[in-house]
Structures are given as C-alpha cells and as structure tokens.
Structure 1
C-alpha cells in the first residue's frame, strides 16, 4: 500500500512549499491522520451567464467558453429587463417600446451575441423582473452548476458584487458564482495555471479548498493556500504583554492549523504551496494574488476570521472590489 509523506521547505517570506512523495510502506496507527476528501463538489455541466450587452459582460462569456471547453458544459445566456421600464439597453441604441417589443429586440441581440461568440448551441433567455431574483430563479430552474458575472457593465451592473444586487445573488444563488473583472489584459488568451485559495480552517473553508482542488485537476493548475491571521484575534489564555509576542503566538497557532489541514487533505496529485500572513485579510490576499500572478481566487462563504459573510461582509467586499483576478465563490449550503 502506498502512503504519501509531505516534505516542506520554508522561505524567508513565510511561505511553505510542499510536495507529495510516494513511498511503499504499510500504514500504521502512528503514520498520522488519514487523508480524506468529501465527494467531489465539482460538476460543471451547465453555466449561466447574465449579460447586459456591455463589453464587460461579454468578457464573462469568454470565461464561460474557456471553462466549458474543459468541462463540456452547456452555456445559457440571460438578459434581464427591469420590469416596468419602457427603455432597455441593447447592442445598439437603447430600445424603447412595449414590453413585448423590448423582449423581441433583446432576444435578437442575444442571438447576435451568441453568433459572434461562436455559441450557436447556447440557450438564450430574456426575463423581466429584478435582476438578482431572475438570475437565481433561472439558475435553479436549469440546475446551473456555475454563474459567471462580469463587473462594471452598464444598466446598473457596475454595482454587481459591490452592492445589494451582488449580495443577494451570492446569498441566494444555488451554485458557485464566478466574478470576472475585465482588465487591460482582457484580450490576452485566458489561462488557469495558478489558483489562490484563502483558508481559515473552518469546514466551510475546506469546501472551497476541495472545489479548488477539483478545478485544478481539470486545468492542471497549482494551488496557493493562504491564511491571514488578524492581530488580536482569539487571544490565548495567558496574558500577552507585547504585540510582537501576540503576533508570534498567532502565527504559531495558524501554522499548526495549516499543517493539520495539509496532512488531512488529499490533493490527488495537485501541486500546492502554503502561505501564512498576518494583518488585514483582504489586503494580504489581494496582494498575494498579484504577487503570484494568480489567474483565479477561490473562496467559500460562511467561514471564520472575516469570511463568516464572505463576499457579503467587509473583508469579502474588499476582495471582490480590489482583486485583479477573477473571484469564484463556493456556497457552503
């Protein structure tokens, strides 16, 4: 029987690089914790892409096509027209008319978009109502495995993932949500080689990690697990007289938790590294993603240390606002 032993080498920056080596030996009680993984969470057969015909929203289609090529998923394009509004934004000039006239024009525009994006097999949907409600409702109806949205679109989408619409989508979406922000490099070929995974050692955080592992297997990507310990968090029983001592204690505790997490997780051959930081979680995570040239950040909702309302509370809002790479949010439910 083969067991895996993990070797680590520490760098001055506090990074621990890990690699798995196979060795032939019998497993004994003293061999350490058995690596376990829950059943795979990654099933991407249906992707929902809400668009408003802006260049930003079309960038989301690129991500959908990129992922669908690997997972063989079907793509559904959705445009939501605000109920009661006599005007709607389309590919060309704004459309003015009755609700039926607007829906017909928007559907024609969706057909043009699908043709231009080489998505002849895509399903096209026009809905009337509140955007977040229609997005979540359709996602449930078609059993979507992933919703992909781009920030900084028109007709209110500039607030997506920065305001109430975004919070509601994340809270109520029945599947993971990928937030893509177009950058100056948006015309470059998409790739998924490095994934940053914030972890806080909670069960919900582990769900995000397992999703990232499955995603990395599809794209042969590397993982960078990062834990950021805020100062003055979970004070120890003993009195600490200096901030430096507190930082050392918090770092030691976090490193021990990280080691336990790595030992208990089956990475299934996916290469990874671990990073421990202290300070502002959102700031450190975003900076680390930039430094590593991350192609994606994968996190989960309802963890600890700031992620108890991930992508809904202040820490997550900052990540979604300032992260240069796309952010994929895995719901805990």
Structure 2
C-alpha cells in the first residue's frame, strides 16, 4: 500500500495579516478523517492518502455511531447492546483499514469513537481537537445522507471552523493518471487564501492544474447582459498572478477566463467537461449566525460538482501560534 501512503500536507492562512514566522516553521498538520466503513468513506480515505505532504501529518480517524433508541423490554436493551457492539467492531475494522492505507507514510494516527448525531459530532470533534482540515465522504451509511448531500457532508462543510474536503469518486483512485485539480479563483481574499493553501501541497509532476476565473456580466437597464471589459482585464491579471504563485509546486498550470451569468454553474460545468478530480473554492471564515450559510458559489459547487470539493476556509490560528511557540522553545 506504499503507493497510496502519501498523506496530506497543507498550510493554512488566517484572515489576519501575513506572518512570515508562522509560515517558515515546519509544523505538524492535524486532519480529522470521518469514516463509517461505507464505500464513500473508503473513497475519502483513498483520496486523502493520494495527496502528497512534506512534513509529518497528524491524522485522527473519527467514527461516529448514531444512538439506537428502542423503548421496551430487556430484549430491546439487549438488541441495542448488540448493535453498539457490532458498530464498535466495524469501527475497529475501518481503523485498521485506514492504517493499512497509510502504512509507511510519515503519519501519526489516532482513533476516536463517539456517539451522537453524525454531522454535529464531526463538527464538535473538529472544534475540540483543534484540527486544520476535516475530510468526509459525500454520502454515508445513514438513510438521510443517501437522499441529499444536504445532510452530513453539507452540515460539516457549513459549520466546521476549518477547511473541509468532501470526497466524491472520480475514477482517479483506479487510474495511473495524475490528479486533475481546478481552483475557482476570483481574486478576493478567500481566493487568495485558497491559492496559498493549495499551493503549499507539493503536487507531483504531471498534475494537471486548472485555475478558472469567472467574469459575470453586467445587467443593463432593460435586463440585457453587458460585457464588462474592465472586469475582464482585472480577472486576467489575477489569473497571471495565480499562475506565478503556483509555479513552484505545479508544472502544468492552465488558466481559464470564462464569462458567465452564474459562477457556481460555470465551475461545475468546467469540472464536468474537463474530468476534474478536485475542485477548490475559497470561503470566507464565518462566525455566529453567518456561519449557518455557505457563500452562494461554494454552496452550489459543493452540492452540484461531479468531483471532490475542497472548501478552503483558512488557518487555525490558536493551533498554529501554539506550534510556533513550541518550536521556538525547542530551538532556544
């Protein structure tokens, strides 16, 4: 399994001003991988293992079991115990499978077993463990998650305090070809954080990297769509800057400027036509009530994209500052 034992590495930006000290130190990243033994969960494991990393990775494997409530006799209680026992056995088997996938990689693995609502419990664990990234499959074992993405994956992507990678199968895992990555780039702060974050992954040679910028039309007096030449020029400059930023980590970078009425639809369409494996979109870190909604583009891409989606949200400031302090103490 060493061919998959690559792991994940990413630095995370904060909404605060750039701090070179936080970036120049090599620190361990902490990823929370939510698994349930389903095919979608296995896809998440395989994609995570497929992504390269430079430094040591701390990986927490989280299994969440929804409580079974049956009111009645002793037989009902015994049935619940049997269900819980089976769930724990499945969790241990899944944990062993993940460890096998990362055999030989520079990864420190922990295992957490919790009970509760799946989406809420994953988000709570992300907060308590102070992780940098949550990885989940697009669907899971629960009946609700089979009906809509707007259950576990959507809840985690909306409420997690950190970046979230929602994994869908794209055929990459069963193919020798390099990964195809698309970054939706709009030139604003969320996009800049996303490009810096994804740019810290040492992509292997051959990685097909697309940077797509969507220029929306102006709306005329009578509702007609008007070409915005000034906006086109600005987006073109942003694309040139993004290509320069990624040039150290990816050799095959292709930029695309698309004029459209809807950013989300255009990104999804691009992913479909180009066989993209991973779509990356920047999302403004949110607080309080505003975190109950993803931005319109992020939400649309998350729910309609045919591939995996990385919602880039930014750095975990408290964790990063703590790691830098520990590193400075160790070197003094």
Verify the 8 A CA contact 2:187 2:238 in the aligned structure 1: no
SS at structure 1 position matched to 2:195: helix
Q: Paired residue for 1:90?
A: none
In 1, the alpha carbon distance for the partners of 2:185 and 2:78 equals: 48
2:126 pairs, out of 129, 134, 139, with: 139
| Paired residues of 2:283 and 2:295 also in contact (CA < 8 A) | no
1:277 equivalent in structure 2? 258
Alignment of 1:18-57 (within 5 A): 40=23, 45-57=29-41
Determine helix, strand or coil for the equivalent of 2:88: helix
Alpha-carbon spacing, 1:214–1:171, altered in 2? closer, same or farther (3 Å): same
The match for 1:331 is 313
**Bigger-Rg structure (1/2):** 1
Q: Who is 2:327 aligned against?
A: none
CA shift, 1:86, in A, is 5.0
Using the alignment, how far apart are the partners of 1:161 and 1:315 within structure 2? 18
For 1:213-228, list aligned pairs within 5 A. 213-215=199-201, 217-220=202-205, 221-228=207-214
The answer to whether the aligner puts 1:197 opposite 2:183 as a matched pair is yes
Q: Tell which deviates more after alignment, 258-267 or 288-297.
A: 258-267
Of residues 291, 313, 325, the one that matches 2:273 is: 291
Superposed, 1:206-285 pairs within 5 Å as 206-215=192-201, 217-220=202-205, 221-232=207-218, 243=224, 246-247=226-227, 249=228, 251-260=229-238, 262-263=240-241, 266-269=245-248, 270-271=250-251, 272-279=253-260, 280-285=262-267
Matches of 1:254 and 1:159, distance apart in 2: 40
The residue that corresponds to 1:152 in the other structure is 139
CA distance in 2, matches of 1:122, 1:287: 37
Deviant stretches of 4+, over 6 Å: 41-44, 239-242, 308-311
Secondary structure, counterpart of 2:276 in structure 1: coil
Moved more, 203-212 or 40-49: 40-49
1: CA distance, partners of 2:184 / 2:50:
24
Structure 2 segments unaligned to the other structure (5+ residues): 1-16, 72-76, 316-332
Secondary structure in structure 2 of the residue aligned to 1:297: strand
Name the TM-score, length of structure 2 as normaliser.
Answer: 0.68
Cα distance in 2, alignment partners of residues 160 and 302 from structure 1: 28
Query: Cα RMSD (Å) of the superposition?
Result: 3.8
**What residue is the counterpart of 1:30 in the other structure?**
none
Corresponding residue SS for 2:200: helix
How far residue 139 of structure 1 moved from its aligned partner, in angstroms, is 2.0
What are the superposed Cα offsets for residues 51-73 of structure 1, whole Å, 9 maximum, x if unpaired?
A: 22211112111122223776542
Distance of aligned partners of 1:113 and 1:52 in 2 relative to their CA distance in 1, 3 Å threshold = closer
Once the two structures are TM-superposed, the CA of residue 192 in structure 1 deviates from its matched residue by: 5.2
Q: CA deviation at 1:81?
A: 1.8
Partners of 2:133 and 2:177 in 1: CA distance: 18
Report the TM-score, using the length of structure 1 for normalisation.
0.68
Measure, in 1, the Cα distance between the counterparts of 2:55 and 2:147.
Answer: 26
Structure 1 distance, partners of 2:19, 2:269, is 31
Residues 61-76 of structure 1: pairs in structure 2 closer than 5 A: 61-67=45-51, 72-76=56-60
Query: 1:103 offset after TM fit, Å?
Result: 4.2
3-state DSSP of counterpart to 1:288 = helix
Q: Does residue 319 of the first structure (1) align with residue 301 of the second (2)?
A: yes
Per-residue deviation, 1:330:
0.8
Structure 1: which 5+ runs fail to align? 1-35, 88-94
